[in-house]
Amino acid sequence: MTHSSTPSPQPQSHFTRARICSRATEEGRITLREMRFITTTQNGGRQERT
């Protein structure tokens, strides 16, 4: 029996419609989506750069 830990992507998921990479940090999260660099803080602040 084989098992895949990677779920099948759903067509409506933003992961299948755009290139995206996101990583948690001590302060919140950093995300690279297409050509945008997004910083999100734990208190909900958000800064986006192109």
Q: What is the pLDDT of residues 16-42, one digit of tens each?
A: 677 889 999 999 999 999 899 999 999
| pLDDT at residue 12 is higher than 80 | no
Answer yes or no: is pLDDT of 1 > 50: no
Instruction: Identify the domain containing residue 33 by its residue range.
Output: 18-49
pLDDT the model gives residue 4: 52
Does 25 reside within a domain?
yes
pLDDT at 7: 60
Cα dist. 25→18, 20, 30, 40 in Å?
A: 22, 16, 7, 10
pLDDT at 19: 85
- pTM of structure: 0.63
Residue 33 domain flag: yes
Task: Answer yes or no: is 44 within a domain.
Answer: yes
Q: Into how many domains does the chain fold?
A: 1
DSSP class of 34: T
